[in-house]
Every structure is written in C-alpha cells, then in structure tokens.
Amino acid sequence: MRKPATIEHLYLDFDGFFASVEQQRDPRLRGRPVGVVPYEGGRTCIIACSKEAKAYGVKNVMMVDEARRICRDLVLVPQKPDLYRRAHNALLAEIASVIPIDTVKSIDELACTLDESQRSDPSGLAMRIKRTIRYNIGATITCSIGFAANRHLAKIAGGTQKPDGLTIWHPHLMPGPLLKVPLEDIPGVGRRMAKRLAGHRVSTTGHLLELAPKQMRAIWRNVTGERLWYALHGYAIESPASGRAMFGHARVLPPDARSLDAAYQVARLLLTKAARRMRRADYYCSGLMLWLRFYDDDWSTMQRLPQVNDDQAVLAALATMWEQMRAAVGPKVRVMRVGVTLCDLTPATARQLDMLLNDDHDRQKWEAVGAAIDGLNARFGRTVASLGPWLPPAGGNVGGKISFTRIPAAEDFQ
C-alpha cells in the first residue's frame, strides 16, 4: 500500500454552518450567540449553534433551558432548511472556482484532492478559498481547513484549530501532531468504541497508534479497524463506495402536534416524502420501519413488504403499524419525535413482480397514480396533489429538515 511523501488532500469544514448562515442572512444576529431550534416555542433543543454560543459552552443537542442558563443572551432562531440548502450550493460553486471538489461529505463538509501546484502552497490555496467565501458570499460564514497525506488525517487536522482555522500536517511531521488529539476526537472512535478500547487498555491516541493493524481489526470486529490503522499511519487509503441502504425522515414534533392523531398525520407526510425520494432514485423497498419517542419511552416496529415504491402500499402499511402501536401504548401518550424508514432496497432494474399478489395488475396501477402525482408536483414546484390529506404541521420542513448528513434536494420542499 502506498504511503505518500507529501500532502495530497484538503478537508474543509464550515464553522457552525446553520447558525452562521442565519447570521449572514440577518445582520442583527452577527456577533451574537445564536441557537438554531426545530420550531418556535415549547420545550425543545438546540440543533446547531454559532461560534459565539459555543464560546459560552452551548452545544448542539442541548436542551434550550440548559443553554439559556449557560448563555442568557442566546438568540433562538427556527430552522430554515431550504435556506441552508441554497447556501450550501452557493458555497460549493464558489469553492469549485478555486479548486475542483472531490467529494461532498455532508452539507457542511467537503474534500478535495490536490494537484502538484496546490501541494506546494497549501497556505496560499486555503487563503484563496477563504477570501472567495468572504467576498463572494459573506464574512460571517467561515471554514476550517486541514491538509494531510490522506482524507482522514486532513479531516482530523482541520478540526484541531476551529473556528476559521488552517492546519497542515506534512507527512514528515507525523505522528507528532496526531498524538495531541484526544482519542474521542478521532473519526471512527465513538463513545461505544472508546469504552471497548478502554477494555483493551487504550485510552489515548498514542496507545491507539501503538496497536497493530490486525489488533485494530479484532477490536472493531471488522475491516474498518484495520482501515483506520492505515489511515492514521498516513497511507493512501480511501473509504469504499457505499451503496444506498434506506430512505427515511424523522421530525421533532411541535407541542400542538404531539397527540397520536396529529403525530400520525406527520408520519404520513414524512413517509410520502421518503417514498418520493425513493422513486426519484429508482429504487423499490421491501421493508418499512416506524419508531416513536414519547416523553419517557420509545416504541418501534418493522413490517415486511413486497417490492414496492408507491404511496398507497407504504401508507397502507403505516396505517396497520400505527394501529399496532396504539394498541400497545394506549391512546393518551404524547409523541415527542416520529420517524419512518424505507429499507431493504432493490434497484428498479432488478425488481421482480410477485404474481401471487397480483403485482402485475394492482401494484402497477398504483405506480401509475404515483407517477402522475409526482409529475404534477414537479410541474408546479410544490405539493398540489397527494394520496390523502396534505397538512404540514406548524413550522413546516416536513421531509426537508435540517440535516448534517444529507443535502436536501429542492424537491424535498415541495
């Protein structure tokens, strides 16, 4: 396996992306501690915060009451997912004018492969990117950039100096800078894995680097541990391409939508959105998962399906599952969060009809109905037709919610 002798990758991470986009949009928020929340009013949590809020100790996924105790001047702003999507696309266009983008890792992270000229002047390249963002988008949106021999090390490097940082880890300097990084800040070492590593007397990054590749494979119980070893030791290794595993949506419910009846209507909308995404990507599913979070408990179930992608099939399954849930938990529970996931996917080109279910007749009729509905909604740029009622809850953003891992498409907001 090749071990680069120079830096080959750039990793860029926007600082407090959602909150900084809000500050760029509204000058009154600039320089103030900002917390982005799912909706106005009620007991909820911070889903993203600005660097000013972080300086007080406010963190993502912190309850608003606790955040306000830490920072009395915290300004709460309801999420605007479509705004973040448009900001993401604008930023990508500006960065691509400086350097080709290799991989968009999430809505606020991207990676680039360096050519020979870029490897010779990483500081100059980083400054050109930062200046382009500052003068063409706005000074409020900043980014932290890391350079290293591979993408994994570049990501770690970029996280060591935030916000608005620049870190260059040349191979001849390694592993010195990496030894200063806390073990829990290494991508691939989550809370559960940190506990497992502690059982093997690994409590620091230095201890981790002392392990052999096969030891890490045994601890992780799969090839991921061995791949991480090679990445941390500076080898040219990239993550394997991942296939589509599922389509799903979830939502924290506003206070007036926490009854079972109101939550069911939200679940229907989320599932319809997920089915639309699945059809656009040319997939069918064979399973539906439903989960709910109550004030003091959780509930989840899964139902097998024939290979389907139309709204009637998945909504009928949801109705059955909802009645099972209602019978199990009773009618008076309050729902804090609801989520639906279409799983066990099959590409449309590999779908097999089930003659025992009369798929060649009934199912294809419903698919034709779905195609007609999708066409109408695409034509008008919003939901003008749906199977059943379409009544988004207060705050909207059904299926186009704030996301750190998926970049919403414009169609998600129809």
Q: Which residue shows structure tokens 């350079």?
A: 147
Whether 48 and 17 have beta carbons less than 8 Å apart is answered as yes
* DSSP codes of every residue in 318-354: HHHHHHHHHHHH-TT--EEEEEEEEEEEEEGGG----
Three-state DSSP state, 86 = helix
Of 22, 52, 109, 367, catalytic: 109
What is the rounded CA–CA span in Å between residue 240 and residue 108?
A: 21
Cα–Cα distances in Å, from 311 out to 274, 346, 369? 10, 17, 9
Bridge partner residues of 338 (DSSP): 251, 292
Q: How far apart are CA 376 and CA 23, in angstroms?
A: 36
Q: Which residues contact 66 (CB under 8 A, 6 or more apart)?
A: none
Neighbours of 395 (CB within 10 A): 19
The C-alpha R_g of the chain, in whole angstroms, comes to: 24
Task: With beta carbons less than 8 A apart as the criterion, state whether 252 and 38 touch.
Answer: yes
- Is 8 one of the catalytic residues? no
3-state helix, strand, coil in the chain (%, to 5): 45, 20, 35
Q: Which amino acid is at 157?
A: A
298 neighbors 213 (Cβ within 8 angstroms): no
Catalogue the E-assigned strands of 66-188: 75-78, 103-106, 109-113, 143-148, 166-168
Find how far residue 305's CA is from the centre of its chain: 27
CB 300 within 8 A of CB 290: yes
Neighbours of 403 (CB within 10 A): 17
Question: What letter represents residue 224's amino acid?
Answer: T
**Lookup: tokens for 355:** 């003659």
Length of the chain: 414
200 Cβ contact list (under 8 Å, min separation 6): 219
Compute the distance between CA of residue 345 and CA of residue 78 in angstroms, rounded to an integer: 34
- Catalytically active residues are 109
